[in-house]
Amino acid sequence: MIKTDMIITDILAQNYDRYPEETAIVERIPALNAKKQITWNEFYRFSCRFANSLGKKGIRKGDKVVQLMTNSIDWLPLYFGILYTGAWAVPLNFRFESDKILLCTQTAEAKVFIFGPEFIQRIEAVRPELEQFVTLWLFSGPENDCPQWACSVQDFICEEKETPLPDVDLCMEDAAALYFTSGTTGTPKAVLLTHKNLSHACYLENSHHGQTHEDIFLCIPPLYHTGAKMHWMGSFLVGGKCVLLNGVSPKWIIEAISQELCTIVWLLVPWAHDILIAVENKEIHLSDYTLSQWRLMHAGAQPVPPSLVENWKKYFPAQAYDTNYGLTESTGPGCVHLGLENAGRIGPIGLPGQGWEAKIVDKQGNHLFANESGELIVRGPGVMKEYYKNPEATQKTIQNGWLHTGDIARYDKDGFIWLVDRKKDMIIYGGENIFPVEIENFFLTHEKIKDIAVIGVPDLRLGEIPAGIISVKPGAMMGEKEIMEFQAALPRYKQLKQIFFGDVPRNPTGKIEKPKLRRMYAEDKRKDINKLLK
């Protein structure tokens, strides 16, 4: 029987009580042919020792602690150690450059900064400005690499031989973590999540995917992002093993699943594409691996192309599939999800998740119905507390308890929700609304196309025209003529008016970095038009 009212730090203590000598986390580092692992006993004791050490340095409830680390065996124990103190965990995107690191740390007014060896130079570039807040620098990495101005985590906690649970009064409504949005639409916003938000993510994920203690979850995405961590939390709730894969390639993913006997894997769309390409090109022979225990593949973080799901089922016909929708402001995935029982419905993102409500509304807030496109809004226990220090954005985004997602969606005749596109990505072409995802999904059915991004390029007469940046599969040859012939099946106004061949940049959570593409392919055109209009 799973309790549904436990604070997240109590769940770790429960796993320690129930499964002390069982493996909690395995870290695989294929590039070094290395592997580490810790038990629930080691996980819990490390977190408690770290929390007590922070307490001795004066870190109290409501203080902020930054984590700037790539995935590692210590990431989650450090995160829970922060939570045990009552301080806020502040995980940062490991792709942030110095200016973003400075901005986020200043916003949080962090007192402690934990960082890995990869970030020393980026931090040193802004350390004088950061030290107006940060009083303690903790280095998570080889002790020999620790800079003089920091203390290694190992030395910081070495004197903590006992591991009593920190004496901090925590309740569900207390703030727990500050997550910064990925910044694909501009400056990252600080999303404040409560202990209630985090705990609900555990129960939500478990109710959707039925994780048991015997399930083994493969975690590949970065842990600073809610998507990876909140999916893992369904297994965390029941003390299931987690395998962290440090590095991404189709072979490494399949090897990890086979060798660790993983049963649940959450994939970003590009990784699933790459696996299929490797199988199709016979770079991977599935019969060489132990995969029969792999019961569930689920995907999300961006619209999942129906063609991808159809191709996936050809190679993994017995495997359950689910898609999940969410955002940082909803404590990650699951406010809408397809559900294992609806896996035969290829295309929709599904129905409101456990404990959630969802509506599609027009600009006036009126509820829309089948095949009418409008903004998706959601309400439930995962809605963030606020955008920290940004009441104006908070008021605009949360209205009467409803979180306005900024995503355009529609219902089908059976009431299932289909994601159409981001509101900010919509192209207005001669007065017609074009949603890039619809065009992208169409082109992804072409056997030679690996990836595509569609953006609006400014046009003096039509406002914007749709342009496509196309990445071709390895070994394939493709020209503009073939693209033009293929897209003849689209309505004329949805056909690409400009075609570029090149890489499609994606952030660590798989989302296309469209602001970067607009700067690359549309900014000069915008400047030329602005000159003409002056």
The pLDDT confidence band at residue 526, using thresholds 50, 70 and 90, is low
**Is 36 within the bounds of a domain?**
no
**Is 37 within the bounds of a domain?**
no
**Is 475 within the bounds of a domain?**
yes
SS3 323: strand
Q: What are the b/e assignments for 202-239, b being 16+ CB within 10 Å?
A: bbbbbbbbebeeebbbbbbbbbbbbbbbbbbbbbbbbb
Q: Please tell me which residue, 302 or 134, carries the higher pLDDT value.
A: 134
**Is 455 within the bounds of a domain?**
yes
Contacts of 260 (CB under 8 A, 6+ apart): 26, 28, 216, 218, 243
Owning domain of residue 504: 429-533
Angle at which helix 523-533 crosses helix 514-521, to 10 degrees, equals 60
The pLDDT confidence band at residue 123, using thresholds 50, 70 and 90, is very high
Proportion of the chain in helix, strand, coil states, percent, rounded to 5: 35, 25, 35
**Is 30 within the bounds of a domain?**
no
In this structure, of 102-111, 351-360, 456-465, the range with the lowest mean pLDDT score is: 456-465
**Is 482 within the bounds of a domain?**
yes
User: Does an H or E element contain 411, and which?
Assistant: strand 402-411
Residue 486: CATH number of its domain: 3.30.300.30
- Work out the average pLDDT over 69-82: 96
d(CA 15, CA 127): 38
Distances (CA, A) of 109 to 104, 396, 525: 8, 24, 40
For residue 1, the model assigns a pLDDT of: 43
For residue 460, the model assigns a pLDDT of: 66
For residue 389, the model assigns a pLDDT of: 94
- The tokens describing 103, both together, are 């901005």
**Is 458 within the bounds of a domain?**
yes
Are 378 and 417 in contact, with CB atoms under 8 Å apart? no
Contacts of 401 (CB under 8 A, 6+ apart): 379, 383
Distances (CA, A) of 413 to 51, 345, 348, 372, 410: 52, 13, 12, 11, 10
Q: Which residue in 158, 167, 109 sits closest to 138, CA to CA? A: 158
The pLDDT confidence band at residue 74, using thresholds 50, 70 and 90, is very high
d(CA 112, CA 308): 43
d(CA 167, CA 305): 49
DSSP string covering 266-320: EEEHHHHHHHHHHHHTTSS-GGGS--TT--EEEEESSPPPHHHHHHHHHH-TTSE
Give the largest CA-CA distance in the chain: 72
- Work out the average pLDDT over 277-305: 89
d(CA 237, CA 316): 28
pLDDT digits (tens, 9 = 90+) for 312-332: 999 999 899 998 889 899 998
DSSP state of 117: G
Other beta carbons within 10 Å of 109: 14
- The tokens describing 304, both together, are 């999942």
Q: How many domains does the chain have?
A: 1
**Is 453 within the bounds of a domain?**
yes
Q: Which residue in 269, 219, 266 sits closest to 242, CA to CA? A: 219
In this structure, of 425-434, 447-456, 463-472, the range with the lowest mean pLDDT score is: 425-434
d(CA 191, CA 453): 27
SS3 500: strand
pLDDT digits (tens, 9 = 90+) for 132-179: 999 999 999 998 999 999 999 999 986 656 677 778 899 999 999 999
